Amino acid sequence: MITTAALMTLLLLTGGAALAVLVTDLSLWATALAISVLGGPAMVTCASGVRRLVEHTLHRTAWHGDLASTAGALQTATLLLAAHHAGLPPLTLIAAGALLWPATALLTAALTPRRTRHEPLAPARTGNTEPRRATRPRSAVTPT
């Protein structure tokens, strides 16, 4: 399972890459179309693999795995954007992304604190401002 936040993040990254290719050179419309059509399923498949890697390697829950996978994708995209502006070729960027995504996801999961089931939740503060009653409440039913 993948969360909606992870799905939307991955589709946003894919759409951003396709739009960047299209804006950069209009003659590369076929490449932008291929990124749009094939990029989403490829990213979701890779995200599932990275999530499972985090879950099995670090013994984390699915929620932690999904969080680490999404954060790793965003961190990797940021690094790859900087590397692209430095002038690295596209195949090098793809290879670097394939290595950086799992590495950053594992690092994120390792550094993210996890709460165990035995840890009690902090009590909620409701901020009840209702005035206290001066008299005791009486029953609505009167004895006969």
Q: What is the pLDDT of residues 66-121, one digit of tens each?
A: 999 999 999 999 999 898 889 899 899 989 999 999 999 999 999 988 766 665 65
pTM: 0.72
DSSP3 helix / strand / coil % (the chain, rounded to 5): 70, 0, 30
What's the pLDDT at 114? 74
In angstroms, the CA 115 to CA 118 distance is 8
Tell me the two tokens of residue 8.
Answer: 């939307």
88 Ramachandran zone, left/alpha/beta (phi>0; psi -120 to 50): beta
pLDDT band at 127 (very low <50, low <70, confident <90, very high): low
> Would you give the distance in Å from CA 124 to the centre of its chain?
27
Domain ranges of the chain: 4-111
In angstroms, the CA 94 to CA 105 distance is 17
Phi and psi (nearest 5°) for 77?
-60, -40
In angstroms, the CA 62 to CA 34 distance is 30
What's the pLDDT at 131? 64
Q: Is the pLDDT of residue 3 over 70?
A: yes
